[in-house]
Amino acid sequence: MHDLIPIKSKSDIPALYQNTPIGLLLEYHNLGRQNGSYSEAQLLVGMCMDNRKRLNVPENFAFIIRAGGANLKYSEFKVSYSFGVEGIRHMALIGHNHCGMVNLAAKKQQFINGLVKNAGWNHGAAEEHFNHFSPKFEIGNEIDFTLNETKRLRQRYPKIMIAPLIYRLEDNLLYLMKD
């Protein structure tokens, strides 16, 4: 994976993110910072629904929106709510490697067969469902998608600090992405 910044000490966190909720996220998750106490969220996290990822953060520290591929296009009202009503000013967008939303076309038959077998769908309806929705949820590759989604969100919410990160499944750590 290219252009990833490993966070192995507090000094690895770029100055831009130090002393912000994004920096705290990196400290809590990667560096084992002792959990603080929060009565309200400090950060919005957008991340994939994948069950292999778990963030090490204190209770009440972050709102977390999980969506396949960390694709927040169809969760944007919830994103806006966190900024507009809850007053959140920082966001971490977290993609991860080995994401199931990459190369959906290769999973078409498995998807259709699974809906038929496990959910009781008929084959035609399952195929139509896949054909209709897979183009909306295909992310291409994790790095490029997370960077592009970060750029899109920054344009949409120019006063919010948004950091692109990748969760590597091999070591369960967060990496900042150079953008």
DSSP for residue 75: G
Q: pLDDT confidence of 2, banded at 50, 70, 90?
A: low
Give bridge partners of residue 162 from the DSSP assignment: 91
Residue 93's nearest CA partner among 15, 162, 4 is 162
CB-based contact 99:142 (threshold 8 Å) = yes
Sheet holding 43-47, edge to edge: 4-6, 173-177, 161-168, 90-96, 43-47, 62-66
- pTM, two decimals, is 0.94
The residue-averaged pLDDT of 158-175 equals 98
CA angle 70, 142, 51 (to 5 degrees): 50
Per residue in 71-117, pLDDT (tens digit) is 999 999 999 999 999 999 999 999 999 999 999 999 999 999 999 99
CB-based contact 179:150 (threshold 8 Å) = yes
Residue 142's nearest CA partner among 36, 2, 7 is 2
Q: Is the pLDDT of residue 64 over 70?
A: yes
Would you state the structure tokens that stand for residue 131, as one six-digit string? 């054909």
Would you state the structure tokens that stand for residue 100, as one six-digit string? 């199931």
CA–CA gap between residue 25 and residue 148 (Å, rounded):
21
CB-based contact 26:61 (threshold 8 Å) = no
pLDDT value, residue 35:
84
Place of tokens 């006063």: 159
What domains does the chain contain, in order, with CATH numbers? 4-101+140-177 (3.40.1050.10), 103-138 (no CATH)
Q: Is the pLDDT of residue 36 over 70?
A: yes
